[in-house]
Homo-oligomer: A and B are copies of this chain.
């Protein structure tokens, strides 16, 4: 089964060829179809901002590392007992790349994000087919196309970020970082009661995209005084909800300063493994009583992400599509940052989405 994979560990951004990671198409065995499994012929798989971290060895060093966890497709086969989720062959679906075992202590406690067997079904989906447990698979609403559907997984991350904000309707919200998660979080928070909605992002094209998708304000953290702009936008108060989607050590510390008293700050990205953010306990936890948290994976968020998908404007996320064989080129484009999202067409499947007038 042809599968996009990391074939050499290293930074995809490195200029030195020896240090550079490499992406290729390899042939991996197709997993057996277990009795509760679903085989999906993959339509589209999107490149995730975390994929370059995998190329750098964040989750392991043994190549080839199959890639792809943001995908859509059509059900091709169902195991004999895969009947608890209402699926049929031919269904248009997307899903969750991790399976929660249901038996370990975190699963028993309603904290599936810490499932001790998360990796058991973590199978690469940037491939001709993917074989998942039925619990990982979600049928797409009729008005969502297969091309849009491959964005279910990153949308679920934005939903989980939203869940962790403990948002009240009308709260002032800022999002730092205009990558795909930042932009999806922007659209989700726009619909979740955000006011004074602001994106902080150094790249002008991304700020403009934010304004097109509902940001009321944008801040260029390089050219502008972020704290002064915040004071101006919020009348001196700061933001009630602060979301980091940048993952950037340069950005994260300043977010504490622009948070309002009592605010919630969600660090919603991945961060360098050895980076330590200096946290002034007196200023931010004692005097300001901030609540600071983060997001790992997104259990429980997929059903609501499915509900939201038809309401999001995904056009700009689905412009850059490459054939499976052109995966290496697709990753080059991804790393260039020219597009909010780069997508691999894994099979050329007909789509039956109901398009809105």
A202 interface residue per 8 A CB criterion: no
One of A7-15, A98-106, A329-337 contacting the partner: A98-106
A117 interface residue per 8 A CB criterion: yes
Flag if A108 contacts B303 (CB, 8 Å). yes
Interface residues on chain A, number (Cβ under 8 Å): 82
A residues with CB within 8 A of B: 36, 84-85, 100-114, 116-117, 133-135, 138, 159, 162-163, 167-172, 188, 191-193, 195-196, 237, 252, 261-262, 267, 269-296, 299-300, 302-308, 311
Flag if B304 contacts A169 (CB, 8 Å). yes
Closest-CB distance, A170 to chain B (whole angstroms): 3
Q: Given that A114-B262, A270-B286 are contacting pairs, would A170 and B308 also be in contact in the complex, using a CB cutoff of 8 Å?
A: yes
Flag if A293 contacts B295 (CB, 8 Å). no
Q: Cβ of A302: which chain B residues have Cβ within 8 Å of it?
A: 108
Q: Cβ of A285: which chain B residues have Cβ within 8 Å of it?
A: 267, 271, 292-294
CB within 8 A of A193: which of B134, B192, B290?
Answer: B192
Q: Cβ of A280: which chain B residues have Cβ within 8 Å of it?
A: 271, 274-277
CB within 8 A of A291: which of B106, B163, B275, B291?
Answer: B291
Specify the main secondary structure of chain A where it touches its partner.
Answer: mixed
Flag if A103 contacts B84 (CB, 8 Å). yes
**Cα separation A104 to B163 with both chains bound (whole Å):** 21
Closest-CB distance, A217 to chain B (whole angstroms): 13
- Nearest residue (CB) in B for A261 is B114
CB within 8 A of A108: which of B135, B159, B170?
Answer: B135
Q: Cβ of A267: which chain B residues have Cβ within 8 Å of it?
A: 281, 285-286
Flag if A192 contacts B163 (CB, 8 Å). no
Flag if A295 contacts B289 (CB, 8 Å). yes
**Cα separation A109 to B156 with both chains bound (whole Å):** 12
- Nearest residue (CB) in B for A155 is B170
List 8 A-B pairs, minimum CB-CB distance, nearest first. Answer: A285-B294, A170-B304, A276-B278, A102-B102, A110-B300, A271-B281, A103-B135, A84-B103
